[in-house]
Amino acid sequence: MKSGKGKKETEKSASMIDRRERSAYFARREAARVLRTVLRGDARRRAVGSIKSLVYSPSVRNKKGTFALVCQTLKHLPLLKDLLKKTDILKGKWKRQEELIFVVTYDILFGQASVTIGASEKFVLHQKNALESALAHLCAKKNVKHAEDLLLLNNTPNVSKPRYVRVNTLKLDVELALQQLKEAYKVKKDDMVPDLLVLPPGTDLHNHPLVMNGSLFLQGKASSMVAVALMPEPEWEVLDACSAPGNKTVHLAALIEGKGKIIAYELDKKRVKYLEDTVRKSGANNVDVIHGDFLETNIEDPLYSNIRAVLVDPSCSGSGTIAERLDHLLPSYIKGHTSDVDDAERVKKLAAFQRKALAHALSFPAVERVVYSTCSIFKEENEDVIKSVLPLAHSLNFELGTPFPRWPRRGLPVFDGAEHLLRMDPKEDKEGFFIALFVRKSIPSKSEKLSGRRQNPSSHLLGQRPKLKIVKRKRHCPFLKISQMLLYNEMNRLRYLKPSMKN
């Protein structure tokens, strides 16, 4: 008969095991939901976000466990599909839950979790012998000893890059952030970006208090270089043309020291929410979020008359961040879709939009600096876009500047002046990126502005004049509209009073 102490220890141990199993149970279902979104987006070639962004969204509770399950299931996916096909168990209602079956099968065959709860888990456990037999047969057929050797046949890249974090100087001093992080991590300042810190690869800061409260942003080096390249001055008004999720937007707000104003455009309604959340988290109170199409802004609108700098970071192929986004784990990458006709057509359409966006940015009357950036390695989205707008840029007194002159890798030599452009290489720098800076030598004279008003200078690239569209501006002051309404009503009241009654 067990003693009271021994019984309590047994109960405590059983309770801990039960908690771990329940945590694993929910992690598998969160992983299945993320996996479904990823696979459907990949099949349509329209990803809704990177694997990391989907896993680390607020809706996912067990982020670390879910991320590991998603990555490992994707890594094993070709093998899992082969085994499930050979055993013919993925049918009926289980076919409708195939993402969950993928995750559970991975966990039972290759994971380390103790699986005892869940209908899907019990179903796969019942088929475990058949699955292991199919795995052994496949290893023998491929002439390998272990399942890990089968994975090597896919030859997927393994990219190890430092963990970068940007200090949000609206909330925290760089030196203080460095001091606090040094208490638990090996950390140093970046040699290029003043407010960027570098930590060892694999450092997990997602749940760190400074990240949770917006004092630190998990932002890559290339992404952090963009706002610094634009180099806006305090008191400037700055326009961010394609803003969501907002890391570059709030970086701009920090660079102008919370002064001036940032106008942040975003066309996609769902991404507007991400943008607003980022702005709120950063503590920036000088950002106006506009849900609308940047290409439809009227450059003659007084709202934009004082815009001094524009950031154009448009939608792109993302070809420079395949490894960071974990795209190499997706079925389309494994099948070699990166060079097919569909992708070439997609890049062509993206480049057409990118040219329009950049041309429109250069056309604002008071703009002095414009930065164009992509996370693409394709010439069509980078040097070719810049070359196409150079005649317009020169006519408006712009010239190419040289962002980060000490950076060794510059633009491809496809036109005179390409050496001013900045490139990052996926092999050398662990990601591909592109930055171009336009600097205005002088603002056009009043007569030039008047003549320019007859037609938008970028209309030949836009294909038509931008449509006028009233967009709803998201402001942080809830009483602004009420105040405007009261003032309007009072003016109307006074308008109809007799002169003697106005006094």
Extract the annotated binding site for S-adenosyl-L-methionine: 242-248, 266, 293, 313
The catalytically annotated residue of 71, 139, 375, 477 is 375
Both tokens assigned to 488 = 């309007």
Give Cβ neighbours of residue 103 (< 8 Å, ≥ 6 apart).
Answer: 28, 31, 32, 35, 69, 73
Separation CA 152–CA 324 (nearest Å): 20
Separation CA 218–CA 55 (nearest Å): 14
Helix (H/G/I), strand (E/B), else coil: 242:
coil
CB 60 within 8 A of CB 30: yes
Separation CA 237–CA 310 (nearest Å): 9
CA geometry: angle 166, 172, 178, nearest 5 deg: 65
Helix (H/G/I), strand (E/B), else coil: 112:
coil
Q: Which residue type, as a one-letter code, is found at position 383?
A: E
Both tokens assigned to 445 = 């004279």
Instruction: Verify whether residue 71 is a known catalytic residue.
Output: no
Helix (H/G/I), strand (E/B), else coil: 150:
helix
CB 366 within 8 A of CB 307: yes
Alpha-carbon torsion, ordered 137, 142, 143, 145, to 10 deg: -60
Alpha-carbon torsion, ordered 472, 474, 475, 481, to 10 deg: 30
Both tokens assigned to 463 = 């294909």
Both tokens assigned to 413 = 């030599």
Separation CA 396–CA 401 (nearest Å): 15
Residue 334 CB neighbour total at 10 angstroms? 15
The residues annotated with a catalytic role in the active site are 375
